[in-house]
Structure 1
Amino acid sequence: MGGPAVDTSSSGMQDYHKFIDPSKKWYKNSRLVKLNLWIFLLLITSMANGYDGSMMNGLQLLEQWESAFDYPDGSKLGLLGAIQNIGSLGSLPFAPYMCDGLGRKWTIFIGAVIVVGGAVLQAAAQNVEMFIGARFLLGFGLGFCTAGAPMLVSEIAYPTQRAPLSSVYNALWPGGAFVASWITFGTFHIKNSWSWRIPSALQGAPSLLQIFLILLCPESPRWLVSKGRETEALKCLAYYHADGNEQDPLVLFEFEEIKTTLAHEALQKQTGWLQLFRTPGNRRRMRILVAIAFFSQWSGNGLVSYYLNKVFDTIGITDPVEQLLINAFLNMWSLILAVLGGMYCDKFGRRPIFLTSTAGMLIFFTLQTVCSSQYALHGNKAAGHAVVAMIFLYSAAYAIAWSPLITSYTLEILPFNLRAKGFTVFAFSVSASLVFNQYINPLALKAIGWKYYIVYCVWIAFELVFVYFFLIETKNRTLEETSLLFDGVHAVADVSNQAAHAIEHEPSTPNEKHSGSVHEVNVLEKA
């Protein structure tokens, strides 16, 4: 069982920091700037994903869209909202095999091609069935993109930037929502079907950019080593992390750590779906990642993300322009706070941010429920306006942790050989929870109105208890070192110490005698 406090100090745990000159700034290094530009190309995958929820919010406020699809409501509206995530679920059986077999880049490329095709069909839809089919295709393609992109971010980023950048990945979800909200606001006054066709077509813009550029992006050094392409892996690490110097201590440390870890995982036979549940450490990982996946969507945020107009209707805000403006500013507010939460995750730590966020969500969602009840029961207009304030405060609390950290934290706690499969379970859990939410929320709001909020108040309280007792702190560790938190020093070799020892006592190039992992196996057997 996890506990409220976990000791994060261990000898050798932060050895990589001694190879980094803190006086050197990344923005003065042209190759790190280039690397971060490639990472930005990966980050926009999350924007493409976030675009959808806000676009659907906006389209529901457009008379042209409503009339084109016969004023969808109830289960039909739920299906229109959920179908993209149903499409994502359809891609999950294939995504881990593509990521591990073809590589991260090719998985993203294939997904981007499918997304662009889906966006074209969505914009050209002539009836609701065609629109639903296009949205399924969009979700299917995004499933591949969102499987490969965050893993590649975490595996190519400079060590001191890995956690903030992989956290910013999911933080850009409200970035996509922000763009979509303003696009739908801008097309609101177009008095024909282009008012909804333009936002529908632009959903494919980030993926179109990826189609042209993603294959030029560096591939994961960990994936390259796993395929026996160690020379390419070393060159990639050296080019981006050390100005091309293959003998740089940091590069050699990273390279040895990757090889040692992969050799250990091979010895432990840590492959296959059953391995996700076979050991106590992996069961702890799965308990955490499945929980945070469901919590990220079952915290009342789905009401704001997909059915904000229905929430506004319950408090008397019915003017479409006013609803669109509130939606646009809410997404901008969430984007800023999500990025800040991601950027400071190493400074404050994951547990404190998650705890602060979840406690804030509980407080503000409870107050939102109280204010909504006062409006519904007594027609108190001040209470209706207070609901809007509580939505902004709740969204701020949600954004600082549950927007940026869920993806990066999941990738941190998974070992390489299980990363694709474990992340697929995480993505499946997110999509499944979204499908449930998007289908149930409009029905529940229509049936019982504000009383539905009470369910989320109770659930968020449960989330707070879970986060306190089970989430483990992982800040300032490499991906390889984090394994020790779950598997213990007796179950896993201390790869950081071995890597440091290797670069101090032996040359390390892919062509030398231990390139076939003989050296690593001997060390691990002694350990």
Structure 2
Amino acid sequence: MGAGAVVAGSHNEGYLQFIDPARTWYNNKRIIKLNAWIVLLLITASTNGYDGSLMNSFQSLPLWKSYFGQPHGGKLGLLNAIQNIGSLAAYPFAPYLSDGLGRRRTIWIGATIMIVGVAIQSASQNLGMFIAARFLIGFGLTFASNSAPMLVTELSYPLYRAQLTALYNSLWYSGNIIASWTTFGTEFIPNNWAWRIPSILQGLPSVLQFFLVLWVPESPRWLVSKGHESRALQTLAYYHADGDETDPLVLYEFNEIKAGIELDRTVAANVGWKSLYRTPGNRKRMTIIIAIAFFSQWSGNGLVSYYLNAVFDTIGITNTTIQLLITGILAIWNLFWAAGASFLVERLGRRFLFLTSASGMLVFFVFQTVCSARFAVTGNPATAHAVIAFIFLFYASYDLAFTPLIVAYTVEILPYNLRAKGFNVFNFTISLALIFNQYVNPVALGKLGWKYYIVYCCWLAFELVFLYFFIVETKNLSLEETSALFDGEDATRAMHNAVTEVRHDDLHDEKGSSTYTPTNELKA
């Protein structure tokens, strides 16, 4: 079948016109197998979520605080920030490994480093060991988290790409839940295993990836970029069409990938770091990406994510068991809303979710501020309970977009040749925002109390206005179609023409058998 037949339908329909309705995630063995591999990639976010909750929970454990000399102020800020400092140290290398060695090998390297870090953290005898271990965990996490979501979005069956990529960051809360409830249970252990056990469990996702991730199929887009076009076609055919290399969907995907990468290299000149801001389309991409990265950490959620116990103190909730219980329930609540929103991204669209999320956060954070102020004046326990209620409602709003979409939206609006570098900038921005939060929030809360919330109320209003004017709708588009959307009509037309001109007789440009198995992929 020639490529002309592949693109014969309306271009606006994109890949949807080639989807076989009989081929779904629950009745096709190869899509089920593919999704199982993708779950192994998704748990990378669980490691990150586990760490965020772990430090929050440790700060409520008297044994942990006593063992490490009651850390507070700048020392507590360093303990929370050191993981992100480790991440910063790895950022110069992560995109080169992702693009050079491949997505899955980079994940394996990151998992290996994190296993070493978790081992040192769990065996820590002093504060210095604990800090060094958290640096290593952050260093390894950068490699894994740079490649994992890109591999998810580049490998997924196209009908489920957006949902699975959105689910990636939503599973941050799965790690959050495990850490919260593990620490809640080990609180009653009368020795240092109360904090060593939760620390050991942090390494479980990395151990699974260490043994299994090299069996995951490599990204077809990475394979095409390295000249392995036959392997890319075979991978797409094996997982997306039961091995049929002439399937219309497979040919459409393959031709579009080839055309998109070639367009990036020539027409759009999307290579190198300077290309991140060289064209109007790329400048718009990076403006959105950097903004949503900051917004994801500077929306008031940082107060809860890392300093929930300090927030509790400002409203009179000081019992350790109650603090850990609320933390654990909040994690389950967050996962429910974030996962639910992940499955609605193609139905409701990105703009709707972002704007609804920002509006809800603004309203409920204002109410939280008012109730915190009332508690400070009156000491009425009812207002403290209202603060907790508004924290839950605030997070339900946050989870509509800023949990599922920040990663998914970032990787889908970046063209292939800039994806690793642009996503690295996204992660770098988050680390900067987190380091600022982790040093400033405890100091500001200590000095200003509830008045510090007013800063975030003003910032949330700015976020809503920014999102209204800048977020571009991308639902029901392939990665290459989304990429062309940002580069104007000329790029869209060039992309369409390039796909049309690719011929099926150009596909087998490598020697060797076209028979594909996962074992062949691993050896390659």
Q: TM-score range by the shorter chain?
A: over 0.9
Match of 1:409 in 2: 409
2:246 partner SS: coil
Give the alignment of 1:164-313 within 5 angstroms.
164-268=163-267, 269-313=269-313
8 Å contact from structure 1 (residues 12, 497) kept in 2 = no
8 Å contact from structure 1 (residues 484, 492) kept in 2 = yes
8 Å contact from structure 2 (residues 24, 31) kept in 1 = no
Give the alignment of 1:121-136 within 5 angstroms.
121-136=120-135
8 Å contact from structure 1 (residues 481, 494) kept in 2 = no
Distance 2:200 2:447 in 1: 34
Letter in 1 for 2:361: M
8 Å contact from structure 2 (residues 81, 434) kept in 1 = yes
8 Å contact from structure 1 (residues 254, 499) kept in 2 = no
Match of 1:61 in 2: 60
8 Å contact from structure 2 (residues 341, 399) kept in 1 = yes
Deviates more, 1:490-499 or 1:292-301: 490-499
8 Å contact from structure 1 (residues 415, 480) kept in 2 = yes
8 Å contact from structure 2 (residues 485, 492) kept in 1 = no
8 Å contact from structure 1 (residues 55, 180) kept in 2 = yes
Does 2:340 align with 1:340? yes
8 Å contact from structure 1 (residues 256, 508) kept in 2 = no
CA apart distance, 1:129:
1.1
RMSD of equivalent CA atoms: 1.4
CA apart distance, 1:17:
1.0
Unmatched 5+ stretches in structure 2: 1-8, 512-524
CA apart distance, 1:493:
4.1
Match of 2:508 in 1: 510
Letter in 2 for 1:329: I
Letter in 2 for 1:469: F
> What's the TM-score once normalised by structure 2's chain length?
0.94
Distance 2:493 2:279 in 1: 16
Distance 2:49 2:391 in 1: 18
CA apart distance, 1:497:
5.8
Distance 2:188 2:41 in 1: 33
Distance 1:102 1:387 in 2: 48
Match of 1:147 in 2: 146
* 1:96-146 alpha-carbon deviations (Å, 9 max, x no partner): 000000000110000000001000000011111110110000000000000
CA apart distance, 1:495:
2.8
8 Å contact from structure 2 (residues 228, 510) kept in 1 = no
Distance 2:125 2:510 in 1: 62
8 Å contact from structure 1 (residues 187, 196) kept in 2 = yes
Distance 1:421 1:348, change over 3 A: same
Match of 2:113 in 1: 114
CA apart distance, 1:13:
2.9
CA apart distance, 1:231:
1.0
* 1:252-290 alpha-carbon deviations (Å, 9 max, x no partner): 111111111111111133111001001000000000000
1:489 partner SS: helix
8 Å contact from structure 2 (residues 14, 477) kept in 1 = no
What is the aligned length? 502
Letter in 2 for 1:236: T
CA apart distance, 1:501:
6.2
CA apart distance, 1:510:
2.5
Distance 2:143 2:181 in 1: 27
Deviates more, 1:125-134 or 1:266-275: 266-275
Give the percent of matched residue pairs that are identical in Structure 1 and Structure 2.
59
* 1:44-67 alpha-carbon deviations (Å, 9 max, x no partner): 000100111111111111111000
8 Å contact from structure 2 (residues 230, 510) kept in 1 = no
Match of 1:518 in 2: none
Unmatched 5+ stretches in structure 1: 1-9, 514-527
8 Å contact from structure 1 (residues 13, 496) kept in 2 = no
Distance 2:282 2:48 in 1: 28
Distance 1:11 1:486, change over 3 A: farther
Letter in 1 for 2:300: G
Deviates more, 1:478-487 or 1:341-350: 478-487
> What's the TM-score once normalised by structure 1's chain length?
0.93
Distance 1:278 1:497 in 2: 24
Letter in 2 for 1:380: N
Distance 2:168 2:451 in 1: 34
8 Å contact from structure 2 (residues 357, 397) kept in 1 = yes
* 1:455-482 alpha-carbon deviations (Å, 9 max, x no partner): 0000011000000011100000000001
8 Å contact from structure 1 (residues 15, 500) kept in 2 = no
CA apart distance, 1:72:
0.8
Match of 1:7 in 2: none
Distance 2:278 2:501 in 1: 31
Match of 2:489 in 1: 489
CA apart distance, 1:492:
4.6
